[in-house]
Amino acid sequence: MRRISILVFLLVVFSVSVFSFVIQPFGLFGNVSLVRHDLTALIKVVPFAEFELGQNILTLDNINALLNEEQVDIDENAFADALANGFKLSAPISLGTYVNLKLGALRLVPYVRVDGNIALDLPKTFAELLVGDTLIDHTYNDTKEGFLSASIMANGGVALMLGDFYVAGNAFVPVLFSDATETTVTVSYTSSSTPAYAELNAIGMIRAYSRVSLNDIASGNIDSLIDELSHLEDYGLSVELGYGNDNFGVAVRNIVITPAKAWYAVEVTGNGKATYTAQGTDITFEATYSISEPMVARLLTPVSITPPIQITAYLKNDGFIMWGVMGSYWLDGNWAVKGYAGLNIGIARAYYILGYNQINYAHTIGIGANLFLLNADLKLTATTNTLFPTNNSTPGIGIALTFSGGL
Protein backbone atom coordinates (compact mmCIF):
# COMPACT_ATOMS: atom_id res chain seq x y z
CA MET A 1 0.00 0.00 0.00
CA ARG A 2 2.85 2.33 0.86
CA ARG A 3 4.54 1.65 -2.48
CA ILE A 4 1.30 2.47 -4.32
CA SER A 5 1.00 5.75 -2.41
CA ILE A 6 4.58 6.70 -3.24
CA LEU A 7 4.01 5.80 -6.91
CA VAL A 8 0.87 7.96 -7.08
CA PHE A 9 2.70 10.85 -5.39
CA LEU A 10 5.60 10.66 -7.85
CA LEU A 11 3.16 10.50 -10.77
CA VAL A 12 1.39 13.66 -9.61
CA VAL A 13 4.64 15.53 -9.02
CA PHE A 14 5.99 14.53 -12.43
CA SER A 15 2.72 15.39 -14.14
CA VAL A 16 2.36 18.87 -12.71
CA SER A 17 5.98 19.62 -13.45
CA VAL A 18 5.43 19.21 -17.18
CA PHE A 19 1.98 20.82 -17.35
CA SER A 20 1.76 23.75 -19.76
CA PHE A 21 -1.31 25.64 -20.96
CA VAL A 22 0.48 28.84 -22.00
CA ILE A 23 -0.12 27.92 -25.66
CA GLN A 24 -3.67 26.58 -26.05
CA PRO A 25 -3.67 23.51 -28.40
CA PHE A 26 -6.84 24.70 -30.18
CA GLY A 27 -6.36 28.44 -29.74
CA LEU A 28 -5.18 31.15 -32.11
CA PHE A 29 -1.65 29.67 -32.13
CA GLY A 30 -2.94 26.10 -31.93
CA ASN A 31 -1.05 22.86 -32.39
CA VAL A 32 -2.84 19.68 -31.30
CA SER A 33 0.44 18.05 -30.22
CA LEU A 34 0.38 20.40 -27.21
CA VAL A 35 -2.36 18.25 -25.62
CA ARG A 36 0.48 16.10 -24.32
CA HIS A 37 0.90 18.78 -21.62
CA ASP A 38 -2.65 18.72 -20.16
CA LEU A 39 -1.76 15.91 -17.68
CA THR A 40 -3.99 13.26 -19.24
CA ALA A 41 -3.37 9.76 -17.87
CA LEU A 42 -6.59 8.33 -19.36
CA ILE A 43 -9.17 11.00 -20.28
CA LYS A 44 -9.62 14.72 -19.74
CA VAL A 45 -12.17 17.33 -20.78
CA VAL A 46 -10.76 20.79 -21.51
CA PRO A 47 -12.98 23.85 -22.18
CA PHE A 48 -11.21 27.03 -23.29
CA ALA A 49 -11.91 30.59 -24.44
CA GLU A 50 -9.69 33.34 -25.87
CA PHE A 51 -10.62 36.87 -26.93
CA GLU A 52 -8.59 39.97 -27.70
CA LEU A 53 -9.56 43.44 -28.95
CA GLY A 54 -7.06 45.86 -30.41
CA GLN A 55 -7.68 49.19 -32.14
CA ASN A 56 -6.09 52.54 -33.00
CA ILE A 57 -9.27 54.63 -33.27
CA LEU A 58 -10.25 55.78 -29.77
CA THR A 59 -7.96 56.99 -27.01
CA LEU A 60 -8.79 56.22 -23.38
CA ASP A 61 -10.10 59.77 -22.89
CA ASN A 62 -12.44 59.42 -25.87
CA ILE A 63 -13.66 56.01 -24.66
CA ASN A 64 -14.51 57.56 -21.29
CA ALA A 65 -16.25 60.44 -23.06
CA LEU A 66 -18.41 58.03 -25.06
CA LEU A 67 -19.33 56.03 -21.97
CA ASN A 68 -20.29 59.21 -20.12
CA GLU A 69 -22.06 60.70 -23.18
CA GLU A 70 -19.61 63.60 -23.25
CA GLN A 71 -17.86 65.36 -26.14
CA VAL A 72 -15.31 63.28 -28.05
CA ASP A 73 -12.07 64.97 -29.12
CA ILE A 74 -11.59 64.74 -32.89
CA ASP A 75 -8.16 66.19 -33.54
CA GLU A 76 -4.67 65.28 -34.73
CA ASN A 77 -3.50 64.23 -31.26
CA ALA A 78 -6.41 61.83 -30.70
CA PHE A 79 -6.00 60.30 -34.17
CA ALA A 80 -2.21 60.39 -34.44
CA ASP A 81 -1.84 56.66 -35.17
CA ALA A 82 -4.77 56.64 -37.62
CA LEU A 83 -3.15 59.55 -39.51
CA ALA A 84 0.01 57.48 -39.84
CA ASN A 85 -1.47 54.03 -40.52
CA GLY A 86 -5.20 54.38 -41.19
CA PHE A 87 -8.09 53.30 -38.97
CA LYS A 88 -7.57 49.72 -37.79
CA LEU A 89 -9.29 47.25 -35.46
CA SER A 90 -8.82 43.54 -34.81
CA ALA A 91 -10.84 41.14 -32.64
CA PRO A 92 -9.64 37.51 -32.77
CA ILE A 93 -11.70 34.93 -30.87
CA SER A 94 -11.39 31.22 -30.10
CA LEU A 95 -13.58 29.13 -27.80
CA GLY A 96 -14.54 25.48 -27.52
CA THR A 97 -13.90 22.17 -25.79
CA TYR A 98 -11.75 19.16 -26.51
CA VAL A 99 -11.45 15.71 -24.97
CA ASN A 100 -8.05 14.03 -24.68
CA LEU A 101 -8.33 10.23 -24.66
CA LYS A 102 -4.99 8.51 -24.14
CA LEU A 103 -4.68 4.92 -25.37
CA GLY A 104 -1.06 4.04 -24.75
CA ALA A 105 1.08 5.80 -27.35
CA LEU A 106 -2.05 6.81 -29.27
CA ARG A 107 -4.26 9.80 -28.48
CA LEU A 108 -7.76 10.47 -29.81
CA VAL A 109 -8.78 14.10 -29.44
CA PRO A 110 -12.37 14.98 -30.47
CA TYR A 111 -13.15 18.70 -30.33
CA VAL A 112 -15.59 21.49 -31.12
CA ARG A 113 -14.52 25.10 -31.45
CA VAL A 114 -15.55 28.48 -32.85
CA ASP A 115 -12.69 30.69 -33.97
CA GLY A 116 -11.75 33.48 -36.33
CA ASN A 117 -11.23 37.21 -36.52
CA ILE A 118 -13.07 40.45 -37.26
CA ALA A 119 -10.86 43.23 -38.61
CA LEU A 120 -11.28 46.84 -39.79
CA ASP A 121 -8.82 48.48 -42.17
CA LEU A 122 -9.42 51.97 -43.59
CA PRO A 123 -6.67 53.88 -45.46
CA LYS A 124 -5.04 56.82 -43.72
CA THR A 125 -6.51 59.18 -46.33
CA PHE A 126 -9.85 58.88 -44.53
CA ALA A 127 -8.28 59.98 -41.25
CA GLU A 128 -6.49 62.85 -43.00
CA LEU A 129 -9.79 64.11 -44.40
CA LEU A 130 -11.43 63.88 -40.98
CA VAL A 131 -8.82 65.55 -38.78
CA GLY A 132 -5.99 66.69 -41.04
CA ASP A 133 -5.43 70.20 -42.36
CA THR A 134 -8.52 71.66 -44.06
CA LEU A 135 -8.16 71.52 -47.83
CA ILE A 136 -9.55 74.62 -49.58
CA ASP A 137 -11.37 74.38 -52.94
CA HIS A 138 -10.72 70.65 -53.01
CA THR A 139 -12.85 67.63 -53.89
CA TYR A 140 -12.18 63.96 -53.16
CA ASN A 141 -14.09 60.72 -53.77
CA ASP A 142 -12.94 57.15 -53.21
CA THR A 143 -14.38 53.69 -52.50
CA LYS A 144 -12.64 51.04 -50.42
CA GLU A 145 -13.63 47.37 -50.80
CA GLY A 146 -13.20 44.86 -47.98
CA PHE A 147 -12.68 47.53 -45.34
CA LEU A 148 -14.22 45.16 -42.78
CA SER A 149 -13.34 41.47 -42.86
CA ALA A 150 -14.87 38.65 -40.84
CA SER A 151 -13.88 34.99 -40.88
CA ILE A 152 -15.51 33.17 -37.97
CA MET A 153 -16.08 29.42 -38.31
CA ALA A 154 -17.66 26.69 -36.21
CA ASN A 155 -15.54 23.54 -36.32
CA GLY A 156 -15.85 19.97 -35.12
CA GLY A 157 -13.59 17.00 -35.67
CA VAL A 158 -11.22 14.38 -34.34
CA ALA A 159 -7.43 14.51 -34.16
CA LEU A 160 -5.34 11.34 -34.16
CA MET A 161 -1.93 11.77 -32.52
CA LEU A 162 0.87 9.22 -32.56
CA GLY A 163 4.21 10.20 -31.12
CA ASP A 164 5.05 13.74 -32.18
CA PHE A 165 2.81 13.78 -35.28
CA TYR A 166 -0.92 14.27 -35.68
CA VAL A 167 -3.61 14.55 -38.31
CA ALA A 168 -7.10 15.93 -37.77
CA GLY A 169 -10.24 15.63 -39.85
CA ASN A 170 -12.48 18.67 -39.50
CA ALA A 171 -16.02 19.67 -40.51
CA PHE A 172 -16.84 23.38 -40.53
CA VAL A 173 -19.64 25.86 -41.18
CA PRO A 174 -19.44 29.66 -41.45
CA VAL A 175 -20.81 31.67 -38.54
CA LEU A 176 -19.88 35.03 -40.07
CA PHE A 177 -17.85 35.34 -43.28
CA SER A 178 -17.69 38.71 -45.02
CA ASP A 179 -17.92 39.34 -48.76
CA ALA A 180 -15.00 41.61 -49.62
CA THR A 181 -16.47 42.90 -52.89
CA GLU A 182 -19.84 43.77 -51.30
CA THR A 183 -18.37 45.26 -48.11
CA THR A 184 -17.54 48.80 -49.18
CA VAL A 185 -17.22 52.33 -47.88
CA THR A 186 -17.35 55.45 -50.07
CA VAL A 187 -15.92 58.72 -48.80
CA SER A 188 -16.40 62.11 -50.46
CA TYR A 189 -15.02 65.51 -49.52
CA THR A 190 -15.71 68.97 -50.85
CA SER A 191 -14.68 72.44 -49.70
CA SER A 192 -14.69 76.07 -50.71
CA SER A 193 -12.94 79.25 -49.61
CA THR A 194 -15.84 81.64 -50.20
CA PRO A 195 -17.78 80.99 -48.12
CA ALA A 196 -15.44 78.99 -45.87
CA TYR A 197 -16.99 75.53 -45.94
CA ALA A 198 -15.94 71.87 -45.84
CA GLU A 199 -18.07 68.75 -45.93
CA LEU A 200 -17.08 65.11 -45.43
CA ASN A 201 -19.51 62.28 -46.22
CA ALA A 202 -19.13 58.53 -45.76
CA ILE A 203 -21.51 55.75 -46.84
CA GLY A 204 -20.76 52.15 -45.99
CA MET A 205 -22.26 48.69 -46.40
CA ILE A 206 -21.24 45.39 -44.80
CA ARG A 207 -22.37 42.10 -46.33
CA ALA A 208 -21.56 38.74 -44.77
CA TYR A 209 -22.73 35.13 -44.97
CA SER A 210 -23.61 32.42 -42.48
CA ARG A 211 -24.90 28.87 -42.50
CA VAL A 212 -27.56 29.78 -39.94
CA SER A 213 -29.78 32.80 -39.42
CA LEU A 214 -28.16 35.34 -37.12
CA ASN A 215 -31.68 36.21 -35.97
CA ASP A 216 -32.02 32.66 -34.60
CA ILE A 217 -28.69 33.03 -32.80
CA ALA A 218 -29.70 36.38 -31.30
CA SER A 219 -33.12 35.10 -30.19
CA GLY A 220 -31.84 31.75 -28.95
CA ASN A 221 -34.07 29.75 -31.32
CA ILE A 222 -32.36 26.41 -30.63
CA ASP A 223 -34.84 24.24 -32.56
CA SER A 224 -34.31 26.23 -35.75
CA LEU A 225 -30.53 26.20 -35.33
CA ILE A 226 -30.51 22.41 -34.83
CA ASP A 227 -32.66 21.97 -37.93
CA GLU A 228 -30.35 24.14 -40.03
CA LEU A 229 -27.21 22.37 -38.80
CA SER A 230 -28.69 18.91 -39.45
CA HIS A 231 -28.02 19.31 -43.19
CA LEU A 232 -24.62 17.63 -43.25
CA GLU A 233 -24.28 18.10 -47.01
CA ASP A 234 -23.69 21.81 -46.35
CA TYR A 235 -20.66 21.23 -44.13
CA GLY A 236 -17.18 21.94 -45.40
CA LEU A 237 -14.40 19.40 -44.87
CA SER A 238 -10.77 20.16 -44.09
CA VAL A 239 -7.62 18.53 -42.79
CA GLU A 240 -5.05 19.70 -40.26
CA LEU A 241 -1.49 18.36 -40.11
CA GLY A 242 1.14 19.00 -37.49
CA TYR A 243 4.26 18.05 -35.59
CA GLY A 244 5.26 19.01 -32.08
CA ASN A 245 7.53 17.95 -29.25
CA ASP A 246 8.30 19.49 -25.86
CA ASN A 247 10.27 22.34 -27.43
CA PHE A 248 9.24 22.90 -31.04
CA GLY A 249 6.15 22.46 -33.19
CA VAL A 250 4.57 23.49 -36.49
CA ALA A 251 1.07 22.95 -37.88
CA VAL A 252 -0.92 23.67 -41.03
CA ARG A 253 -4.64 24.24 -40.44
CA ASN A 254 -7.66 24.73 -42.73
CA ILE A 255 -6.46 22.57 -45.63
CA VAL A 256 -9.87 22.61 -47.29
CA ILE A 257 -11.11 19.54 -49.18
CA THR A 258 -14.70 20.69 -49.69
CA PRO A 259 -15.93 24.27 -49.08
CA ALA A 260 -18.89 24.93 -46.81
CA LYS A 261 -22.23 26.32 -47.97
CA ALA A 262 -23.78 29.47 -46.53
CA TRP A 263 -27.54 29.92 -46.90
CA TYR A 264 -28.01 33.26 -45.14
CA ALA A 265 -26.82 36.79 -45.86
CA VAL A 266 -26.73 39.70 -43.45
CA GLU A 267 -26.36 43.35 -44.44
CA VAL A 268 -25.71 46.48 -42.39
CA THR A 269 -25.58 49.98 -43.86
CA GLY A 270 -24.46 53.25 -42.35
CA ASN A 271 -23.62 56.82 -43.20
CA GLY A 272 -21.95 59.78 -41.57
CA LYS A 273 -21.52 63.46 -42.31
CA ALA A 274 -19.22 66.13 -40.89
CA THR A 275 -19.41 69.82 -41.83
CA TYR A 276 -17.23 72.82 -41.08
CA THR A 277 -18.37 76.41 -41.69
CA ALA A 278 -16.76 79.71 -40.82
CA GLN A 279 -18.07 83.26 -41.07
CA GLY A 280 -15.78 85.83 -39.53
CA THR A 281 -14.94 84.56 -36.06
CA ASP A 282 -18.01 82.33 -35.94
CA ILE A 283 -16.83 78.74 -36.55
CA THR A 284 -19.23 75.78 -36.54
CA PHE A 285 -18.47 72.08 -36.68
CA GLU A 286 -21.24 69.47 -36.84
CA ALA A 287 -21.19 65.68 -37.19
CA THR A 288 -24.01 63.15 -37.54
CA TYR A 289 -24.20 59.42 -38.28
CA SER A 290 -26.71 56.58 -38.53
CA ILE A 291 -26.43 52.77 -38.66
CA SER A 292 -29.19 50.43 -39.81
CA GLU A 293 -30.42 47.34 -38.05
CA PRO A 294 -28.93 44.11 -39.50
CA MET A 295 -31.04 42.72 -42.35
CA VAL A 296 -30.99 38.91 -42.55
CA ALA A 297 -32.27 37.00 -45.61
CA ARG A 298 -32.15 33.41 -46.82
CA LEU A 299 -30.40 32.98 -50.17
CA LEU A 300 -31.95 31.22 -53.16
CA THR A 301 -28.55 29.70 -53.97
CA PRO A 302 -25.90 28.98 -51.31
CA VAL A 303 -22.49 30.66 -51.33
CA SER A 304 -19.33 28.54 -51.07
CA ILE A 305 -17.09 29.50 -48.15
CA THR A 306 -13.39 28.59 -47.85
CA PRO A 307 -11.43 29.82 -44.81
CA PRO A 308 -7.78 30.82 -45.36
CA ILE A 309 -5.04 28.29 -44.60
CA GLN A 310 -3.31 28.98 -41.28
CA ILE A 311 0.28 28.08 -40.35
CA THR A 312 1.35 28.08 -36.70
CA ALA A 313 4.67 27.42 -34.98
CA TYR A 314 6.13 27.52 -31.48
CA LEU A 315 9.50 27.27 -29.75
CA LYS A 316 9.50 26.91 -25.95
CA ASN A 317 11.11 25.64 -22.77
CA ASP A 318 8.97 24.60 -19.78
CA GLY A 319 11.68 24.51 -17.11
CA PHE A 320 11.76 26.48 -13.86
CA ILE A 321 12.52 29.58 -15.93
CA MET A 322 9.95 29.09 -18.66
CA TRP A 323 10.01 30.91 -21.98
CA GLY A 324 8.67 30.60 -25.49
CA VAL A 325 7.75 32.26 -28.77
CA MET A 326 4.77 31.50 -31.02
CA GLY A 327 3.56 32.73 -34.36
CA SER A 328 0.56 32.39 -36.62
CA TYR A 329 0.18 33.31 -40.30
CA TRP A 330 -2.96 33.16 -42.47
CA LEU A 331 -2.65 33.06 -46.25
CA ASP A 332 -5.00 36.05 -46.51
CA GLY A 333 -2.14 38.17 -45.12
CA ASN A 334 -2.96 38.32 -41.39
CA TRP A 335 -0.30 37.35 -38.88
CA ALA A 336 0.51 37.56 -35.18
CA VAL A 337 3.50 36.79 -32.94
CA LYS A 338 3.94 36.48 -29.19
CA GLY A 339 6.75 35.74 -26.78
CA TYR A 340 6.62 34.90 -23.09
CA ALA A 341 8.79 34.31 -20.03
CA GLY A 342 8.02 33.37 -16.44
CA LEU A 343 8.54 31.07 -13.50
CA ASN A 344 7.23 27.50 -13.25
CA ILE A 345 7.35 25.71 -9.87
CA GLY A 346 5.22 22.75 -10.95
CA ILE A 347 1.97 23.26 -9.09
CA ALA A 348 1.82 26.95 -10.07
CA ARG A 349 3.34 29.34 -12.55
CA ALA A 350 3.27 33.03 -13.48
CA TYR A 351 4.42 34.61 -16.71
CA TYR A 352 4.37 37.69 -18.93
CA ILE A 353 3.56 37.70 -22.68
CA LEU A 354 4.36 40.41 -25.22
CA GLY A 355 2.55 40.16 -28.56
CA TYR A 356 2.08 42.08 -31.80
CA ASN A 357 -0.48 41.58 -34.59
CA GLN A 358 0.01 44.34 -37.23
CA ILE A 359 -2.28 46.69 -35.29
CA ASN A 360 -1.33 46.72 -31.64
CA TYR A 361 0.96 45.44 -28.95
CA ALA A 362 -0.49 43.10 -26.34
CA HIS A 363 0.77 42.98 -22.75
CA THR A 364 -0.44 39.87 -20.93
CA ILE A 365 -0.10 38.60 -17.37
CA GLY A 366 -0.81 34.89 -16.95
CA ILE A 367 -1.14 32.56 -13.97
CA GLY A 368 -1.77 28.84 -13.77
CA ALA A 369 -2.55 26.20 -11.15
CA ASN A 370 -1.79 22.50 -11.67
CA LEU A 371 -3.48 19.95 -9.39
CA PHE A 372 -3.31 16.96 -11.75
CA LEU A 373 -7.05 16.18 -11.68
CA LEU A 374 -8.00 19.86 -12.01
CA ASN A 375 -5.92 22.48 -13.83
CA ALA A 376 -6.53 26.05 -14.87
CA ASP A 377 -4.82 28.91 -16.68
CA LEU A 378 -5.90 32.57 -16.80
CA LYS A 379 -4.52 35.34 -19.00
CA LEU A 380 -5.47 39.03 -18.76
CA THR A 381 -4.38 41.29 -21.61
CA ALA A 382 -4.13 45.03 -22.19
CA THR A 383 -3.52 46.11 -25.79
CA THR A 384 -2.24 49.43 -27.09
CA ASN A 385 -1.09 50.84 -30.41
CA THR A 386 2.29 51.79 -28.88
CA LEU A 387 4.79 49.59 -27.10
CA PHE A 388 4.83 51.95 -24.13
CA PRO A 389 1.36 53.48 -23.50
CA THR A 390 0.95 57.28 -23.49
CA ASN A 391 -2.00 59.66 -23.09
CA ASN A 392 -2.75 59.33 -26.81
CA SER A 393 -2.47 55.54 -26.93
CA THR A 394 -5.54 53.56 -28.01
CA PRO A 395 -6.32 50.79 -25.52
CA GLY A 396 -7.95 47.38 -25.87
CA ILE A 397 -8.51 44.31 -23.71
CA GLY A 398 -8.21 40.55 -23.85
CA ILE A 399 -8.88 37.49 -21.74
CA ALA A 400 -8.09 33.78 -22.07
CA LEU A 401 -9.24 31.01 -19.75
CA THR A 402 -8.60 27.25 -19.88
CA PHE A 403 -9.80 24.52 -17.52
CA SER A 404 -8.88 20.86 -17.46
CA GLY A 405 -10.63 18.11 -15.52
CA GLY A 406 -10.25 14.33 -15.54
CA LEU A 407 -7.74 11.59 -14.96
Q: At 374, is the pLDDT very low, low, confident or very high (cuts 50, 70, 90)?
A: confident
Domains in the chain, number: 1
Note down the domain range covering 61: 2-406
Query: Rounded to an integer, what distance in angstroms lies between the CA atom of residue 92 and that of residue 100?
Result: 25
Q: At 3, is the pLDDT very low, low, confident or very high (cuts 50, 70, 90)?
A: low
Q: At 129, is the pLDDT very low, low, confident or very high (cuts 50, 70, 90)?
A: confident
Q: At 239, is the pLDDT very low, low, confident or very high (cuts 50, 70, 90)?
A: very high
Per-residue model confidence (pLDDT) at position 224: 92
Asked whether residue 256 carries a pLDDT value surpassing 60, the answer given is yes
Q: At 373, is the pLDDT very low, low, confident or very high (cuts 50, 70, 90)?
A: confident
Per-residue model confidence (pLDDT) at position 257: 98
Query: Rounded to an integer, what distance in angstroms lies between the CA atom of residue 404 and that of residue 44?
Result: 7
Q: At 340, is the pLDDT very low, low, confident or very high (cuts 50, 70, 90)?
A: very high
From the list 60, 53, 58, 65, the residue with the least C-alpha distance to 82 is 58
Which range of 3-7, 33-37, 66-70, 398-402 scores highest in mean pLDDT? It is 398-402
Mean pLDDT over 88-92 rounds to 93
Which range of 131-140, 180-189, 261-270 scores highest in mean pLDDT? It is 261-270
Q: At 11, is the pLDDT very low, low, confident or very high (cuts 50, 70, 90)?
A: very low
Asked whether residue 74 carries a pLDDT value surpassing 90, the answer given is no
Which range of 1-15, 186-200, 296-310 scores highest in mean pLDDT? It is 296-310
Mean pLDDT over 213-237 rounds to 92
More confident of the two residues 19 and 28:
28
Per-residue model confidence (pLDDT) at position 274: 83
- Write the CB contacts of 159 (distance below 8 Å, at least 6 apart in sequence): 32, 107, 108, 109, 110, 111, 166, 167, 168, 240
Mean pLDDT over 26-48 rounds to 89
Per-residue model confidence (pLDDT) at position 40: 77
Q: At 2, is the pLDDT very low, low, confident or very high (cuts 50, 70, 90)?
A: low
Q: Establish how many alpha carbons lie within 13 A of residue 276's alpha carbon, considering only the half-sphere containing its beta carbon.
A: 19
More confident of the two residues 10 and 122:
122
The predicted-structure confidence for 343-365, as pLDDT tens digits, reads as follows 999 889 999 999 998 889 999 99
Per-residue model confidence (pLDDT) at position 19: 46
